[in-house]
């Protein structure tokens, strides 16, 4: 089973990379972009067939290592 983890800064946390990309897009003429937030995606191939166990394990991985839960949120999708 594959777990796709998306980690992104919480609302209200300054995203300097996002601001830089937003400015660059604006400079290139893409004026319809209102905001940019940069995150990361982690794809985990799990040796697990039980969806509940896979979600529990992926959540624990996020809480302990993959995300800094003080300033970041995350989502998990099992596929």
Give the 3-state secondary structure of 10-64: CCCCCCHHHHHHHHHHHHCCCCCCCCCCCEEEEEEECCCCCHHHHHHHHHHHHHH
Query: In the chain, what are the domains?
Result: 2-78 (3.30.1280.10)
The model carries a pTM of: 0.89
What does the pLDDT read at residue 4?
Answer: 98
d(CA 42, CA 74): 10
d(CA 79, CA 46): 10
Q: What is the pLDDT of residues 10-55, one digit of tens each?
A: 999 999 999 999 999 999 999 999 999 999 999 999 999 999 999 9
**Which three-class secondary structure state does DSSP give residue 51?**
helix
What does the pLDDT read at residue 19?
Answer: 98
What does the pLDDT read at residue 38?
Answer: 98
What does the pLDDT read at residue 51?
Answer: 98
């Amino acid at each position: 089973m594959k777990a796709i983890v998306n980690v992104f800064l919480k609302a209200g946390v300054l995203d300097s990379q996002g601001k830089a990309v937003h400015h660059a897009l604006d400079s290139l003429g893409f004026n319809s972009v209102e905001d940019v937030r940069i995150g990361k995606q982690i794809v985990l191939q799990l040796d697990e067939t039980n969806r509940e166990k896979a979600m529990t394990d992926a959540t624990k991985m996020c809480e302990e290592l993959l995300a800094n839960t003080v300033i970041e949120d995350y989502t998990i999708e099992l596929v």
